[in-house]
Amino acid sequence: MRKTIVATLACLLLAGGSAQAQLNVNRLVKKAKQAVASTASQVKTKVKDAVDDSGKPLSKVENAVATGIQKTKQAVMNVDETTVNGHSYTSLGDFKPEQYDRTATGCVSFSHVPTSYEECDSLYTRFLGTSAQGAASMMVMALAIYERDPALGERCIRLIATPQCAQQVLEACSSGLPAYQAAACLKGAGQANGYRPNTPYTVEFNASDRVNVKTGDSYTLYIDLNSKGWQEHRRTVAVCKTPHSLYKVQDCESLVAPCLKPQAGTSTAPLQ
């Protein structure tokens, strides 16, 4: 529970403003660490007092408390940020290929969609391709790029996806996806506001009900992108990874299924 609260607070803060993103992240981590330390001390004291009064051994209870504290600390520490061509990208998540965690969450925040292949490649290879939520969020960016420039979008899609997945996505794109398809994947966007997302743009994820799958030395993770652009708000994306590779999008059929039309009278706008 505490891990989920910390991750949620981080996502909210990351979406709050791009100019002071690094400062905000640093403050978040510092405050969260202080909260974890304070709470850990209080919990240990209360548990010890309660168990002492009953005369029962402490070891099992203390181990359980220590495990919960360690998980919370890990969630706090998994906040990363980078800058590409002057634009800030922030990622938070605790998805692990070797261990399925139903409570795992992730989010990626950004204020700019790459405008060149070099920028997309740098962002993917240096930063977002190293995490499950990062690779999945790059597919959202790639869909936005394809809408502006199909040739560039195709190169970016092939960069971040497996060959079979890339082909499926490109077939869907060439058939004519709505111009607001990528925006529908972002926090704050919905039919009622013409799919105009919050800024900086934020993509939020939860662990899927489907457990991780290991095939040889490769792992496939299933994560759900949270969106109001479809009747089913949780859009499952499969990402895969080997020990020596970046994450690749393996399946994202749910993201290229046409989203709901915006309400009449609303106007849409391309992502920047």
Provide the residue ranges of all domains of the chain, joining segments of one domain with +: 2-77, 81-255
Residues β-bridged to residue 235: 225
What confidence score (pLDDT) does residue 79 get? 76
What confidence score (pLDDT) does residue 139 get? 98
Q: Which pTM was predicted?
A: 0.75
Category of 17 on φ-ψ map: left (φ > 0), alpha (ψ -120 to 50) or beta: left
* Token representation of residue 178: 């709505």
211 CB contacts (<8 Å, ≥6 apart)?
100, 222
What confidence score (pLDDT) does residue 272 get? 85
* Token representation of residue 237: 């994306």
CA–CA gap between residue 106 and residue 231 (Å, rounded): 22
Low-confidence residues of the chain, pLDDT below 50?
A: 1-6, 8, 15-22, 24-25, 28, 50-54, 73-75, 77
Q: Among candidates 109, 32, 123, which has minimal Cα distance to 69?
A: 32
What confidence score (pLDDT) does residue 142 get? 98
Please give the helix or strand (H or E) that residue 138 lies within, else none: helix 132-148
* Token representation of residue 236: 């499952």
Q: Look at residue 74 and give its three-state secondary structure.
A: helix
